[in-house]
Amino acid sequence: MAGRTDARRRRHNRVRKSVTGTAKRPRMAVYRSNRYIYVQVIDDVAGHTVASASSQEGDLRSDSLTEETAAKVGKLVGDRAKEAGITSVVFDRGGFKYHGKIKALAEAARESGLEF
């Protein structure tokens, strides 16, 4: 009997078969726990992280995880990716539904200038 986490990992593995980040268009990977949300912009070919942000940083740490907090993290990673010269990414939702906090993060990243 598989649990919720195992099901999410299976979904994520299924998505990762086709989603790969390159130097020109890196993968924006999202992970959400019950308390925090993390996002990394990853160049899978070179194997390194170009930009990252999380709700554990600075003044966001004291906020509870809401859609507004996720949107702040999305804007933060969008700004950091633009500083690194990234304009287009492939979105990797990590097996989570594109809904609520994940959707808020993605829309805020789009508003900050990232295309995906």
What is the tens place of the pLDDT at every residue in 28-67?
999 999 999 999 999 999 999 999 999 999 999 999 999 9
For the entire predicted model, the pTM comes to: 0.93
Give all domains of the chain, ordered by start, each with its CATH number. 4-111 (3.30.420.100)
The long-range contacts involving 31-37, CB below 8 angstroms and separated by at least 24 positions, are 31/94, 32/65, 32/70, 32/94, 32/96, 32/101, 32/102, 34/65, 35/65, 36/65, 37/65, 37/69, 37/70, 37/73, 37/101, 37/105
